[in-house]
């Protein structure tokens, strides 16, 4: 939401995209367009779920760019669906801009909007688990976990 707000301040639409997973955490990205193509601003501690250049013609295409990198600790590919674009201008700014205590309403709103499948049930059965090297790469973090005292 910080990225969406920054885009809005700079005269662009504050738009979110919800990526839903199974047996894993969902992920939300801020969307923007350049030259008729979609890009995304995303912040994650994991290196794979980050920024996407505006080269994707459709939201499905953009969402699929996260598919291979979206895996749980068991190496299962978990990304299953993406939402339609969610324009935050339809939500009172008091909820998501000026009062952080109310921003927890946004995930529920994202859950309620239409989502589109990325893979069929048959395709899910054919998915492989990531190998040891892919799991090792998937564990790269920008910030290490804090040490316990």
Mean pLDDT, rounded, for 84-99: 89
The per-residue pLDDT for 45 is: 67
The per-residue pLDDT for 90 is: 94
The per-residue pLDDT for 137 is: 78
The per-residue pLDDT for 30 is: 97
User: Bigger pLDDT: 146 or 79?
Assistant: 79
d(CA 22, CA 81): 9
How confident is the model over 20-59, as pLDDT tens digits? 999 998 999 999 999 999 999 987 766 677 899 999 999 9
How confident is the model over 94-141, as pLDDT tens digits? 888 876 667 888 999 999 999 999 999 999 999 999 888 888 877 777
């Amino acid at each position: 939401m910080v990225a969406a707000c920054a885009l809005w301040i700079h005269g662009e639409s504050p738009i979110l995209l919800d990526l839903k997973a199974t047996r894993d955490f969902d992920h939300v990205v801020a969307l923007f367009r350049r030259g008729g193509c979609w890009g995304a601003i995303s912040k994650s501690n994991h290196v794979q779920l980050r920024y996407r250049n505006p080269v994707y013609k459709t939201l499905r295409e953009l969402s699929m760019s996260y598919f291979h990198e979206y895996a749980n600790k068991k190496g299962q590919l978990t990304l299953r669906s993406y939402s339609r674009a969610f324009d935050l201008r339809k939500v009172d700014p008091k909820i998501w801009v000026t009062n952080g205590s109310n921003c927890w309403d946004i995930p529920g709103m994202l859950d309620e909007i239409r989502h589109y499948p990325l893979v069929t049930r048959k395709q899910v059965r054919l998915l492989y688990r990531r190998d040891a090297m892919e799991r090792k790469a998937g564990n790269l973090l920008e910030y290490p976990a804090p040490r316990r005292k």
